[in-house]
Each structure stands twice: as structure tokens, then as C-alpha cells.
Amino acid sequence: MKRITGRFGLALATLALLTLSLPTVARTQGAYGDPVPLDLTVEATADPAATYSLPSDPLVVSMKLNGTGAGEPLGEVATVDQCLMQQDVYGTDVAFEMTGVITTAGGDAVYYKAQGPVQSEAATFEITGGKGKYEGATGAGVLVATPGETEGEWTLQFDGVLSTAE
């Protein structure tokens, strides 16, 4: 009888451990491969040493943006972006093309490209990969780029989905 009780106790203990660990396994599996909402706000500033105008008509400004921000699911982030800003004949920013890297506090990164009109929900971004746990990441969404009160300051609001490679 003791042998049956011992096996039964071992089976019961194993079942209890599996039951307790399943929510963690399910969360981990849901985080990889399945699209998750991406909601990220970044405050970025143009680097004056890496900002210059291209003599074209209409004028195009090339700028490097450095930023910090936070959001789900990435947490605290730092960004580096290269942006080409098209201006109208009055010098107002009207459209942009951007390539960037969003780096998490843990050193993982998401790569993206974006384009569209300034201050519009018509601007889009596409996630083109990453490194670390975001290697092979994909996704897309809307990027609203709003100029700040000070020249060269921008708020970048990313709203979309992020999928990581399985």
C-alpha cells in the first residue's frame, strides 16, 4: 500500500507543479509569434550636428533623431532614427521618411521604417526585424509624428502590432 501511496503522492506533486507552471508557459508562448499590441510614445530631439538641408525644390531636411520613451510591450526604450523631412515652399514640414532602431532597456532591439504626412494618422510604420528576442520581428501600424514646441523636438506615437519570430 505504501508503494501505491508513494507513487500517487509523486504523481499528485508533479500534477501540482505542472498546473502552477502552465500559466507561465502559456504567457511565454503567447508572447512569441502571436501579434501583440504595440503602443509606444517617444520624445525625440534632432541632433544639430547631424541635421542639414538638401538643396532641392521643395526643400528636404535630413536629420538624426535621438529619443527616449516607454510603452507596451517594450517598456523603457531609447531610439535612434534617420529622417528625411520634406518641406513645402514656406518651410513647413509636410512629409517624412524614416528608418530607426528602438532599443529596450535589456539591449534587445526592433528595427522599423516609416513614411507619410506629418501630424497625420495616415503615416505608417513597418517593423523590419530586430535583434535579441526581437530577431525576425514583424509588424505594422500608424505613426503620428508631432513637432514639439522647440525646433527639432518631436513626439512619435507608434500604434500597431508586433510579432516576434517563434
Residues 87-124 pLDDT 10s: 988 888 899 999 999 999 999 999 999 999 988 888 99
pTM: 0.77
Q: Could you tell me which residues come within 8 angstroms of residue 149 by beta carbon, excluding any fewer than 6 positions away?
A: none
Render pLDDT for 132-165 as a digit per residue (tens, 0 to 9): 999 999 999 999 988 899 989 999 999 999 999 7
Residue 106 CA to residue 111 CA, distance in Å, equals 15
**Domain identity same for 3 and 71:** no
Of 77, 153, 159, nearest to 121 (Cα)?
159
**Domain identity same for 99 and 84:** yes
Residue 89, domain extent: 35-163
**Domain identity same for 123 and 139:** yes
Q: How many CB atoms lie within 10 A of CB 2?
A: 6
> How many structural domains compose the chain?
2
**Domain identity same for 109 and 41:** yes
Grid cell for residue 139: 509588424
**Domain identity same for 80 and 157:** yes
SS3 19: helix
Grid cell for residue 133: 528576442
C-beta separation of 127 from 141 below 8 A: no
Residue 74 CA to residue 130 CA, distance in Å, equals 12
Q: State the Cα torsion 154-152-125-83 to the nearest 10°.
A: -170
Query: What is the rounded end-to-end Cα distance, in angstroms, of the chain?
Result: 47
**Domain identity same for 23 and 53:** no
